[in-house]
Amino acid sequence: MVSMDPAIIALIVFVPVFLAFWYFATVFIAVVSGWRELARIYPSERPIIGATEWRNRRGRMRYGSGYNGCLNIAANAMGMQLSVWSIFRPGHPPLFIPWSEIPTEPVHGMFGESIRFSFLRATTTLLLRRDLAEEVLRSAPGVRSPAWHTSPPRSSSSTR
């Protein structure tokens, strides 16, 4: 009988367990965030042509699911493409959403201003910091950034 070093046995067991955990964790995040729902509705077969790209950005989706530094965005006149780093790709295929399917609205948060991208046929949203969101929207001719409204100044006189 051949005896194996316990470190080798641990490595042989650890690698497949770790890879299985990684796979199921990324798929779980995709389901919770709504990425899987978007992928069923807005699949993307290949990179979009003539797009401006933003790599390694941050975005927040449903239930506070954060894509911190691993979100890639590309946009052109037709729409917006979303993808993540290939290491996080299980459950996260690239998406392409036409601009006609994306209403936007400003969000005033405790830590700054953002723009919420909603999707007409999905229940999830994407929240991007205002400066990044406005850059993405400017890259698409004819697509406007949402209007930022501030509360009107209070009048010192009372009306009856």
Confidence of residue 2 (pLDDT cuts 50, 70, 90): low
Of the listed ranges 3-17, 33-47, 60-74, the one predicted with least confidence: 3-17
Distance between CA atoms of residues 15 and 42, nearest Å = 34
DSSP codes, 13-39: HHHHHHHHHHHHHHHHHHHHHTHHHHH
Confidence of residue 156 (pLDDT cuts 50, 70, 90): very low
What separation in angstroms does the CA of 70 have from each of 73, 74, 147?
A: 10, 13, 28
* Average of per-residue pLDDT across 103-124: 89
Return mean pLDDT, the chain.
Answer: 84
Q: Is the pLDDT of residue 11 over 70?
A: yes
pLDDT attached to residue 153: 43
Choice between 134 and 153, residue whose per-residue pLDDT is larger: 134
pTM of the shown model: 0.77
Token look-up 């993808």 returns 83
Q: Is the pLDDT of residue 48 over 90?
A: no
- Which of the listed CATH numbers 3.20.20.70, 2.30.29.30, 2.40.50.100, 3.50.50.60 matches domain 35-138? 2.30.29.30
Q: Is the pLDDT of residue 69 over 60?
A: yes
E strands present in the chain: 52-60, 66-75, 79-84, 95-98, 104-109, 112-118, 125-129
pLDDT tens-digit readout, 80-89: 999 999 888 8
How is the chain split into domains, by residue range? Answer: 35-138
**Per DSSP, what are the bridge partners of residue 127?**
60, 116
Choice between 115 and 141, residue whose per-residue pLDDT is larger: 115
Q: Which helix (H) or strand (E) holds 130?
A: helix 130-138
Confidence of residue 147 (pLDDT cuts 50, 70, 90): low
* Complete edge-to-edge strand list for the sheet that includes strand 104-109: 95-98, 79-84, 66-75, 52-60, 125-129, 112-118, 104-109
- Sign of the Cα pseudo-torsion (134, 29, 55, 100, in order): negative
